[in-house]
Amino acid sequence: MSVSKKQALRAIMKEKREVLFQKHPEAGEKIAALFFNFFDLPPHIIIGAYWPIGSELDIRPLLNKLIDRGFACALPCIEQEGLLFRLWNPSLRLVKGKFYLWEPPVSCSTAIPDVLLVPLLAFDKTGHRLGYGQGHYDRYLHHHKPLTLGVGFKGQEVEKIAHQSHDVPLDFIVTEEEVRASKKSVESNLDY
């Protein structure tokens, strides 16, 4: 898929996600319930997440439940050297970082997540995702190997996302309707 076709798909999926966001305001609560029905994670792990912007599926209900259950959570920060994660808790005041993302301040400790919740513009059954095109997550995932969970609305699924060798597929897809292992995780025989 050419760069211009990928940009066109990004524009289409951003509009579609906006409609899905408006139609499914309860999606964040549904994901929080599904998550704990599907995943039984050890309590000592660090969960990397995202603070939703625009029409990204709002995972704050899940973040609060993770904290309530004693998990350490971390949010992404975009630094000159790339994506890194800093520990977060609900009492922390976030600051605006690059790309207008809400991030924990630099005074917070950095962390390397064991599980990573990744926002999506689109996804396919093989676990490939369409993001914003900056490559931050793919570069991060070449250096770190957390369990990856793409988070989005069921309506963001497409038949196939063209990918290159440097694109890292996700292990699971989590939507307001289901948690599904990607083809990658089935082939790897991941069990959580």
- CA–CA distance, 61 with 138 (Å, rounded to integer): 26
Mean pLDDT of all residues in 113-133: 93
And the tokens for 133? 């095109």
Which tens digit of pLDDT belongs to each residue from 131-183?
887 778 989 999 999 999 999 999 999 999 988 777 889 999 999 999 999 86
Rounded distance, CA 80 to CA 7, Å? 24
CATH class, domain 3-188, is alpha beta
Buried b (16+ CB within 10 A) or exposed e, 96-116: ebeeebbbbeeebeebebbbb
Q: With 70 as the cut, is the pLDDT of residue 3 above it?
A: no
Question: 56-98: per-residue pLDDT in tens?
Answer: 999 999 999 999 999 999 999 998 888 999 999 999 999 998 7
Domain boundaries of the chain, sorted by first residue: 3-188
151, 58 in Cβ contact below 8 A?
A: no
Q: Which residue has the higher pLDDT, 185 or 79?
A: 79
- Which helix (H) or strand (E) segment holds residue 66: the answer is helix 60-68
Closest to 156 (Cα-Cα) out of 21, 4, 7, 1: 21
Tally of CA atoms within 13 A in the half-sphere of 140 that contains its CB:
26
For 22-43, what is each residue's pLDDT tens digit?
Answer: 999 999 999 999 999 999 999 8
Phi, psi of 99 (to 5 degrees): 60, 20
- Indicate the pTM of the whole model: 0.91
Phi then psi dihedrals of residue 109, to 5 deg: -65, 145
pLDDT tens-digit map of 97-110: 877 789 999 999 99
Task: Determine the 3-state secondary structure of 29 from DSSP.
Answer: helix
